[in-house]
Amino acid sequence: MQQTKTWSKTTEPSSYHQIYKYLEQALDECSKFIDEIENDYYQGSSASLNIVQHKDYSPRRPLSVNTLLSWSVPLNELRNAGSLHDIRNGKIIRDLLNEVKTGTLAAPVADESVFLMRRILDKTTDQLYSKIPALANKITDCMNLMEQYFLSFYEIENIQDIIQKKKKEKTPVSIFP
């Protein structure tokens, strides 16, 4: 059996197998990247919020579940002190942290709660602006290559130029500064 060449962005694929292998590899890279992002997000937890000492800790649970369990008490304390129903919104979190700074919260909160909330907000913002766009670009590249491949079944000249033109037309105004 003859080994098929791998497909790159600069050459036309000659078989469905080439595009399948390329996309399988690209999606595997995306999956690993997502795992790295998740590990980076949860690994930076405060030393004072040691998940090993948490009463619900289980070595069989994923790190993310154990970390979220350890975060729940300090974050709930902060939410309750701010008399909020939900603290999953960036603006609400910033307002809450400003209330902590000015001392206008309804109840006192531990420093570890404030530190944890700041760390979560900083990490989320960092990943939103640095890591997520790279992942979105990789997925967009895969979609563009798939479109290029399927258009190649038709007798269309300059397929790559057509794809690039469509890509420029589809590009929304960036929400990132």
Give residue 140's identity as a one-letter amino acid code: T
Phi-psi region of 44 (alpha: psi -120 to 50; beta: other; left: phi over 0): alpha
Which tens digit of pLDDT belongs to each residue from 131-162?
999 999 888 888 877 777 777 676 666 666 77
DSSP run (H or E) holding 26: helix 16-43
Only one residue has tokens 């600069």, namely: 10
Q: What is the pLDDT of residues 56-104, one digit of tens each?
A: 555 566 777 778 888 888 888 888 887 777 777 788 888 888 888 888 8
